[in-house]
């Protein structure tokens, strides 16, 4: 396909052309990560497709097909859907606070018929879309520093507060951080960024003392001195570090990770899947996966940079931010550099909602890339 063909009017709207424009490298990278995840889930189940690996692969396959399909959806449709999706997510979060299903002392789930939805995941994509939608129509001056910024602040603050209330501190921080970084990308004045960072430096100790619950404080403190509490909160960190460290350069081999196979590793299929992998595949395996993650981030940011619309730029970057934060927070947690919070390793960890969210996000990224030349105008979208 030549550039001239692409530039022919109407040509770009043909499905076959759109499919050709899809970033297959990104698809390959994502599939590689999910595939490694499936292998690990197969291994830690003692060489069995159940209970995790099979479902992981099937879900990924379904999500992948949907992602390709959604990638062909015109960016203007995404644009038009931004606020409704965000609004729905916020509603569900509010519903969770009222009638949510509680596990492990936190209300995070919403039962919709047979499906169980975790709205805190859903809102991640919703927030990215909503912020991109808002900034798309905001001038650079106003994005730098103006009263208009109260709107994105509210867009970020509402879901973050609701999620923190569940309480799911990790996801709340993730949502707030994603929103904050998007504001910076959209052109927030660097002075304001500096002041904000200073305020955080002052506010975090206060929040620590007055807002957090006892178990959250314990978790936060424990990661600094895991040895002080070998049987409680520190146990997870110690066992995870042992799993990582004992893997060495080449790992113990698939199916031979004693830390995971003998259940010394907590949450081995979800939050600590990276530690399971580190134990069995060693440093080489870990470095490979981190490189894959880095490649995903680079490819996604590239899609953002080459997009002609501000909505496209910001939404693709927002997905990259969410993804990168997930990887960094989970990685730091598993390696004993951050407190234990419930943030999974994207695509590697087992878990339905997280996978759906991430794949929806990458559908948006692919769409941004496919429609990178599209002009998106406010109020004149395909639907509105």
Partner 1 sequence: MESSIFLDEVNERQGLFQRRAFLLGGLAGGGLVALGGRLIQLQLIESDRYQLLSEHNQFQFVLSPPPRGLILDREGVVLASNRPDFRLLLAKDDTMDVEAVLANLARLVNLDEAHLQRLKDEIDDAPRKAPVAIVEDMTWEEFSRVNVRAPELPGVTADMGEVRVYPFSGAFAHVIGYVAKVSAQDVTKTGPNADPIMLNPGFRIGKQGVEKAFDLDLRGKAGARKVEVDVKGRVVRQDPRGDIPPTPGAPIRLTLDADVQTRALEVFGEDSGAAVMMDCRSGDILCMLSAPSFDANQFVKGLTRGEYKALAEYDRKPLFNKALTATYPPGSTFKTMVSLAALGHGFDPGRVYVCNRAWSWGGRVWHCDKAHGALNMHDAIRQSCDIYFYQAALTVGPDAIAATARQFGLGEAHDIGIPGQKPGLVPDSDYKRRAFPRDPVWHAGETPSLGIGQGYVSVNALQLCVMASRLANGVTALRPRLVQSIGDVAQPSGAQAPVLTIPRAHIEFVQSAMAAVVASGTAAHYGDIGLGPVKMAGKTGTAQSHNYTGGGAGAHGAQGAWALRDHAWFIAFAPHDDPRYAMSVLVEHGGFGAEAAAPKAAQIMRVALLKDPQVRARITQPMPTGLPPQMSGSAAGGAGPGAPT
**Which spans of this chain sit near partner 1 (rule: CB under 8 A)?**
136-140, 143, 181, 184-187, 239, 241-249, 258-259, 262-264, 278, 282-283, 286-287, 290, 293-294, 297-298, 301, 304-305, 310, 313-314, 317, 320-321, 324, 327-328, 331-332, 335-337, 377-378
For the bound state, the minimum distance from the C-beta of residue 143 to partner 1, rounded and expressed in Å, comes to: 7
For the bound state, the minimum distance from the C-beta of residue 145 to partner 1, rounded and expressed in Å, comes to: 13
- Structure letter (DSSP) for residue 345: P
Nearer to partner 1, 107 or 258 (CB): 258
Nearer to partner 1, 167 or 257 (CB): 257
Nearer to partner 1, 64 or 283 (CB): 283
For the bound state, the minimum distance from the C-beta of residue 113 to partner 1, rounded and expressed in Å, comes to: 33
Could you write out the DSSP letters of every residue in 147-203?
GGGHHHHHHHHHHHHHHHHTT-HHHHHHHHHHHHHHHHHTT--HHHHHHHHHHHHHH
Nearer to partner 1, 110 or 188 (CB): 188
Distance CA 93, CA 283 (A): 39
Distance CA 109, CA 76 (A): 31
Structure token digits, residue 297: 């981030």
Nearer to partner 1, 162 or 185 (CB): 185
For the bound state, the minimum distance from the C-beta of residue 327 to partner 1, rounded and expressed in Å, comes to: 7
Nearer to partner 1, 304 or 364 (CB): 304
Distance CA 146, CA 141 (A): 8
In sequence order, the β-bridge partners of residue 103 are: 106
Nearest to 273, CA basis, from 45, 117, 118, 59? 45
Dihedral pair phi/psi, residue 171, rounded to 5°: -65, -40
For the bound state, the minimum distance from the C-beta of residue 16 to partner 1, rounded and expressed in Å, comes to: 30
Nearer to partner 1, 110 or 292 (CB): 292
For the bound state, the minimum distance from the C-beta of residue 61 to partner 1, rounded and expressed in Å, comes to: 27
**Torsion angle (degrees, nearest 10) of CA 332, 359, 182, 174:** -40
For the bound state, the minimum distance from the C-beta of residue 38 to partner 1, rounded and expressed in Å, comes to: 22
What lies within 8 Å, CB to CB, of 91 at 6+ separation is none
């Amino acid at each position: 396909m030549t550039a001239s063909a692409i530039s022919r009017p109407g040509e770009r709207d043909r499905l076959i052309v759109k499919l050709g424009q899809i970033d297959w490298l990104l698809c390959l990278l994502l599939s590689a990560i999910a595939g490694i995840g499936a292998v690990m889930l197969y291994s830690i189940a003692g060489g069995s497709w159940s209970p995790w690996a099979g479902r992981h692969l099937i879900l990924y396959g379904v999500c992948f097909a949907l992602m390709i399909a959604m990638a062909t959806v015109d960016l203007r449709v995404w644009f038009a859907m931004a606020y409704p999706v965000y609004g729905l997510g916020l509603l569900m979060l509010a519903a969770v606070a009222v009638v949510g299903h509680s596990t492990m002392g936190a209300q995070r789930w919403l039962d919709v018929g047979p499906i169980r939805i975790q709205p805190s995941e859903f809102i991640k994509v919703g927030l990215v879309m909503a912020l991109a939608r808002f900034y798309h129509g905001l001038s650079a001056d106003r994005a730098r520093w103006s009263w208009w910024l109260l709107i994105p602040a509210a867009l970020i603050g509402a879901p973050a507060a609701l999620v923190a209330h569940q309480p799911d501190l990790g996801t709340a921080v993730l949502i707030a951080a994603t929103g904050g970084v998007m504001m910076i990308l959209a052109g927030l004045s660097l002075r304001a960024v500096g002041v904000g960072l200073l305020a955080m430096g002052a506010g975090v100790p206060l929040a620590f003392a007055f807002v957090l619950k006892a178990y959250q404080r314990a978790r936060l403190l424990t990661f600094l001195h895991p040895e002080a509490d070998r049987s409680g909160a520190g146990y997870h960190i110690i066992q995870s570090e042992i799993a990582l460290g004992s893997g060495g350069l080449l790992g113990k081999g698939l199916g031979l990770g004693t830390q995971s196979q003998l259940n010394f590793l907590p949450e081995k299929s979800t939050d600590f899947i990276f530690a399971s992998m580190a134990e069995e595949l060693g440093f080489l395996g870990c470095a490979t996966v981190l490189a894959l993650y880095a490649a995903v981030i680079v490819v996604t940011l590239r899609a953002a940079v080459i997009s002609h619309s501000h909505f496209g730029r910001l939404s693709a970057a927002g997905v990259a931010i969410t993804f990168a934060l997930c990887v960094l927070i989970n990685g730091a947690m598993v390696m004993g550099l951050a407190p234990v919070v419930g943030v999974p390793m994207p695509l590697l960890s087992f878990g339905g909602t997280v996978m759906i969210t991430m794949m929806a996000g990458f559908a948006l990224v692919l769409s941004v890339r496919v429609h990178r030349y599209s002009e998106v105008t406010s109020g004149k979208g395909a639907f509105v």
